[in-house]
Amino acid sequence: MKRRRFLQAIAAAPAAPLAAQQAAPPAAPPSQFRGGQAAPPLQTTAADLTAAATAPAFFTPDQFAALRRLGSLLQPPMNGHPGAPEAGAPEFLDFLLGVSPPDRQLLYSNGLHALNAQAGKQFEKSFADLDDRQADAILRPLLVTIPWPEDLPRDPLRHFLAQAQRDFRTATENSREWAASDAASGRRRGRGFGGGSGLYWLPIDPVVKG
């Protein structure tokens, strides 16, 4: 299993031009052993661009499936920008929650469990298997207006949804895919993380399914 660069997990990485990122790195010239025999060149890969199915590291499979479905509803594709699943935001949040404080981990775990429980009770399905109408019937009563960023709802499930909506938006808008959509359309990034500077987060060390 190829490891990804650890320092790219949290720190923002400067975005090189898209064409430069896609170009394969030049092969290093072969070195010589003491006996004069040429050593085979090391084969390198652009790990950040490697497409692979990843398994959740923090969430259970059922929780992660609910997380992906929730992200598709709270942060869908819009105006040429990718949605949360297309931007890899669920995978990033799975990594982030794995290194988060226990109270944040509990908030997400309990929230996703509650969504699955409600979906099973109302529709005899998991939350990930709900269609848009069914998911809306569960989520709409739980979404509330937040007057101040720090004033999150006291109800645990409403609190979770408000926090998840904020986290999905932040992770999606600061992804490589979002930056690429801006570059493709000639848009300039606004203020915020990486605003105007072409910075974005990169996931690391996925668990690759064989």
User: Contact at 8 Å (CB) between 135 and 125?
Assistant: no
Residue 173's H or E segment, with its range, is helix 156-173
Q: Look at the pTM and tell me if it is higher than 0.85.
A: no
User: Contact at 8 Å (CB) between 82 and 181?
Assistant: yes
Q: Has residue 29 been placed in a domain? A: no
Q: How many domains does the chain have?
A: 1
Question: Which residues 6+ apart lie within 8 Å of 144 measured at CB?
Answer: 153, 158, 162
Query: Residue 77, SS3?
Result: coil
How many C-beta atoms surround the C-beta of residue 178 within 10 A?
20
Q: Has residue 129 been placed in a domain? A: yes
pLDDT (tens digit, 0 to 9) for every residue of the chain, 210 residues total? Answer: 333 443 343 333 343 333 333 444 444 444 444 455 555 554 433 434 434 456 788 999 999 999 999 999 999 998 889 999 999 999 999 999 999 999 999 999 999 999 999 999 999 999 999 999 999 999 999 987 776 667 777 889 999 999 999 999 999 999 998 888 878 766 655 444 444 444 444 444 333 333
Q: Has residue 184 been placed in a domain? A: yes
Residue 78's domain comprises 6-12+55-208
Burial of 126 (0-12, 13-18, 19+ CB in 10 A): middle
